[in-house]
Structure 1
Amino acid sequence: MTAEHLRNRSEPGPTRAYARQVSSTAAHPHGSRVAARDHCLSMARAVDRPTGAARYGRMFPGLAPLGTDPQLLMRAGVDGGVCDATAALDRLGPGRDDAGEAAGWPFFGQLIAHDITADRSPIMGGVDPEALRNARAPKLNLEMLYSDGPVGSPYLYDLHDAAKFLLGPDGGDVQRNAQGVALIGDPRNDSHLFALTLHIALLRAHNRIVDLLRAAGVPEPDVFDKARITLTWHYQWIVVHDFLPRLVGADLVEQVLAEGGRWFAPPTGQAYIPLEFADAAFRYGHGQIRHTYRLVAGGPAVPLFPDLVGFGPVPADRRLDLAQVFDLPGRPPAQRAKRLDGRLAASLIGLPEQVTGAVDDAAYRSLAVRDLLRGDTTALPSGEAVARLLGVDPLTADELEQSWPQGTPLWFYILKEAEHRGDGDRLGPVGGRIVAEVLIGLQRADAVSYLSLEPDWQPSLPAAGPSFGMADLLTLSFDGVATA
């Protein structure tokens, strides 16, 4: 039924364009199946990436940098500072720190960030913000998953079936080398159990789509490319129609889709990542990390760090049931994300060395300190300045709960704005505008995204409800395809 479902839905635009552009090439033996077509011939080819690292830019270039005393930033972000949630948690009753959305969504946001950004510069200055370079293409194209494809990154794929990803022996982990290091498109996705589990879910979804395409009669030389495009477009759809409405509100998403971006609308092929997005607004998810998580129903509640830190094999008894962090059909409601309120869980105020590496100041183990210093290093404007530019009433001193003499760091402002303008459940008007315009604008600037090539496209994979969403992708990955 599922293969027939795929067969009867229209092919994604890039697949049709690809078929017109490229004639079938001779298959080469590779194990029990033919090798996937070389990506230098594919519309999703790796050669489309910039020859050098992609650039960052400014969404609000006319605004002056805030400039804050680094010592003030460090005091705000360390243990006992205004960004530490521990003291506030002691004053709250059970469940009072929970947001409305499921706990897995900020981790999906983290994978999006890894897909479009990779900044290798140091945390503390020494780099001209205008000289920063992004090691990722600014596209929602699952580069973190596919890397250079079966030809350029063969270690990620099955020797006997090059159209599929190679998973660990029982399918519950990625492949690892003799020292336990993940063989993965982006090592950051192995940093903790949640990112890794979502990465594995995407790998399994691709492999399942390969099976469905073969059952639908797709010619073998075309299977990998069509599976990649199918998964990528469904992922892009989820970002626009499931992730963003939860994070910024459906009305803002519809407005940006209908009217385009007011502050971020790069032409096709000229996308970049705004620093206001990378170093402030899209770091919102740090404020949604729960204090503790259950991995399975009835299991113990443990903090993200150090208990669930990655960078090593995942034993079968330490794996995550995704129904604990996403609302899935037929399962009880998942754990909720932490409310956005400007405070971070204790496990993020004292990150383990596996995550931070060796640091010369203990304050750098705090993710809040790192976020605040990063915004200062990249010369971001204050939150109040951005709010005034957007025509939004800035937060009051009482709402900010912290005195910032020259203005509020944009990252902290966006978290407090979410608390007071988004009820702790979603971003407010400043943070929401930045995130919505960037994630939609990047797709429109990508010549082979669904929003660019075929904006009226609809998902071809079955959905349990009226519209395809994250729950359907996870069901596809781990339980087979949901019934339409």
Structure 2
Amino acid sequence: MTTGTPDSDSAPGVPAGYTYLGQFVDHDLTMDATEAALGESVTVEELEQGRSPSLDLDSLYGLGPGRAGAGYGGAAGPAAGPGGFYAPGGRLKTGSTVGVGLPANFPPANDDQPGFDLPRAGEAGGPTKAGRRTPLIPDLRNDENLIVAQTHLAFIHFHNRVVDELERRRVPAARRFAAARELVVKHYQWMLRTDFLPRIVDEEIVESVFTGGRRYFEVPVGGRPGRFPGVGPGHRPTMPIEFSVAAYRVGHSMIRRRYEWNRVFSSTGPNGAAPLVALFRFTGVSGNLSPGLGDDLNDPESGTLLRLPSNWTTDFRRLYDFTAAGRPDLAVPAAEFNLAQRIDTLLVDPLATLPTGSFGGRGAPVPDPLHLNLAYRNLARAAMVELATGPQLAREMGIEPLTAEQILTGDGGAPLGTLTEAERAELVAHTPLWFYVLREAEVNPKQPGRLTGVGGHLVAEVFHRAIEGSRDSIVRDPRWRPTLPARRKGGFTMPDLLLYAFEGRADLLNPLGDGPIPAP
């Protein structure tokens, strides 16, 4: 599954930002806090869920202002770190990048840029570099790669902009945070339902689930008889391992090998496009914020910087299409725009050697090089919990299963020609669920590269239940419609969210500007 083939863009094209928005959402929904070595058998009863299985942005807000530390602490998250992550007035803290000398005589990169890094512990983090780099956010995983970190930062700005607007409307200070959180969460849910989900799941399935209700997962009481138990409106949602361990790992196949990142790091710039490993390196959890590019990423004390360097600030115009949001002035040339890879059974080869910080293993020896391979990790985790196979779940759900030919041959995905006849028969009979749902997308005749069948229903229904189970919910409030500015009245997309968060300003969406880098 992990190949050396070149990046292959999705068609129709899915902007690459949605890959990492999906990871941000995953960290809002799931967190396996179970202490077990890779490959060790774990029963479902032993699994420890460290995140509210609701789409409520608890990965952004933690326990809320005024609560102890305002974070999670322990295995479930940082804690909010020294000083917490809340700012006065119900706002959230941001951090500052640090100016560096590359390129020389280029002020946007040479100067500190307040507001463009996550808040970090700094001197309050103690004597170690790792401690001082610690991001002050509820979920440290959001600083495992740079696009997710900058996505989290965008949501901080989004919340703060909503607070500013409520303050302008003279909403009382005592009510301002709760009102802002409700607005942010509901617009976030609307964006996921109308903009994100239809890009990765068959649109017909999304519409069917959100208009007709769930058929398989936590079906409402009276919704479907038989083996699918009903839930009442007051029941807390759960997190099915079929989703967290398999179906929602769809985003791993969307990751590119390289990214057109900004004016400094692009194929038309002096340093070339950013390799995937750089997105890990320029973080405080998986990386060392560099600039010691030869340093060992497995050593949390390597590197010299304690904050994101200013030359690595994001150009969001290369990750999302703002033309569709009514801002053609924010378009970049096609050659500088990043599309996600097609959803299929292939992963780019850098994912065969993950940095250990990306799975919480930093500073410890790796017992087997295979443990660095993302595909291997996904398949091993499914085996640890004895997850149902794809064919088993298709039968259980009454969904037409893939044929043996579709499983073995696919459509331009992982080649299985090296398997023996016995191995091929075993794979058809017991296809791992993660591989199965990716193969479903790969051979999807209606919308190639989008989840369908087992995977499509799993993802759409868990999203529906996670929204329904949130304290603030557009499912339980079906008459609610977005009120914040958007290209289309009553709509709200991720580009709309970013435009609002960054005041519609090109210099905030792209702090390094455009054009050739000036000569030193």
1-structure distance, mates of 2:370, 2:216 = 35
2:224 aligns with none
Query: Could you tell me how far apart the structure 2 residues matched to 1:314 and 1:143 are?
Result: 24
Q: Is the 8 A contact 1:115 1:143 kept in 2?
A: yes
Aligned to 1:166: 93
User: What is the match of residue 214 of structure 1?
Assistant: 167
Q: Would the alpha carbon gap of residues 355 and 457 (structure 1) be closer, same or farther in structure 2, given more than 3 Å must change?
A: same
With CA pairs under 8 Å and 6+ residues apart, which has the higher RCO, 1 or 2? 1
Does the alignment pair 1:192 with 2:145?
yes
Give yes or no for contact 1:271–1:445 (8 Å, CA) kept in 2: yes
- Describe how 1:43-82 pairs up with structure 2 within 5 A: none
For the 8 Å contact 2:182–2:472, the answer to whether it is kept is no
Which runs of at least 4 in structure 1 moved beyond 6 Å after TM superposition? none
Alignment of 1:331-350 (within 5 A): 331-332=331-332, 334-350=337-353
Matches within 5 A, 1:136-175: 136-152=51-67, 153=69, 155-157=83-85, 159=87, 161-169=88-96, 170-175=114-119
Relative distance call for 1:416 and 1:447 in structure 2 (3 A) is same
Instruction: Tell me the CA shift for residue 374 of structure 1.
Output: 0.9
Structure 1: stretches of 5+ with no match in the other structure: 1-82
Which residue in 2 is equivalent to 1:292? 258
- Greater Cα offset, 355-364 or 189-198: 355-364
Between the aligned partners of 2:214 and 2:143, the Cα distance in structure 1 is 34
In structure 1, C-alpha distance between the alignment counterparts of 2:176 and 2:484, rounded to whole Å: 16
The corresponding residue for 1:113 is 26
Q: 1:98 to 1:293 in 2, by over 3 A?
A: farther
Letter in 1 for 2:275: P
CA distance in structure 2 between the partners assigned to 1:166 and 1:444 by the alignment: 29
Q: Distance in 1 between matches of 2:433 and 2:495?
A: 32
Instruction: Check whether the contact 1:342–1:419 (CA below 8 A) recurs between aligned residues.
Output: yes
Closer/same/farther in 2, CA of residues 99 and 194 from structure 1, 3 Å limit: farther
TM-score by length of 2: 0.72
Deviations 1:225-250 (A, max 9, x none): 11111101111111111111121132
Call closer, same or farther: CA 1:442–1:307 in 2, change over 3 Å.
closer
* C-alpha contact (below 8 Å) 1:157/1:163 kept by paired residues: no
Contiguous gaps of at least 5 residues in structure 2? 71-82, 97-113, 123-131, 219-230, 290-306, 409-415, 417-423, 507-520
**Deviation string, structure 1 residues 159-183 (Cα, Å, up to 9, x no partner):** 5x23111111300001112321111
- State the alpha-carbon separation in 1 of the partners of residues 162 and 85 from structure 2: 15
The answer on 1:319 being equivalent to 2:232 is no
Equivalences for 1:84-99 in 2 at 5 Å?
A: 84-86=2-4, 89=5, 95=8
Alpha-carbon contact 1:280-1:411 (below 8 Å) kept: yes
Q: Could you give the per-residue CA deviations for residues 411-440 of structure 1, whole angstroms, max 9, x where no partner exists? A: 011111111116543112111100000100
Superposed displacement of residue 276, structure 1: 0.5
CA apart distance, 1:385: 2.0
Check the 8 A contact 2:39/2:383 in 1, yes or no.
no
Distance 1:397 1:109 in 2: 30
Aligned length: 393
Q: Do the aligned residues in 1 keep the contact of 2:84 with 2:136 (CA within 8 Å)?
A: yes
SS in 1 for 2:443: helix
Q: 1:63 is matched with which residue?
A: none
Alpha-carbon distance, 1:338 to partner:
0.5
User: Is 1:303 matched up with 2:275?
Assistant: yes
What is the TM-score normalised by the length of structure 1?
0.77
Query: Equivalents in 2 of 1:337, 1:434: separation in Å?
Result: 22
Q: Within 2, Cα distance between the matches of 1:389 and 1:382?
A: 11
For 1:364 and 1:95, locate their aligned partners in 2 and report how far apart those are by CA, in whole Å: 26
Identity among equivalent positions (%) equals 35
Compared CA separation, residues 445 and 481, structure 1 to 2 (3 A): farther
Say if 2:436 is the partner of 1:413.
yes
Residues 326/348 of structure 1: CA separation in 2 closer, same or farther (3 Å cut): same
Distance in structure 1 (CA, Å) of the matches to 2:192 and 2:403: 32
Secondary structure, aligned partner of 1:172: strand
**3-state secondary structure, aligned to 2:216:** coil
Q: CA RMSD in A?
A: 2.1
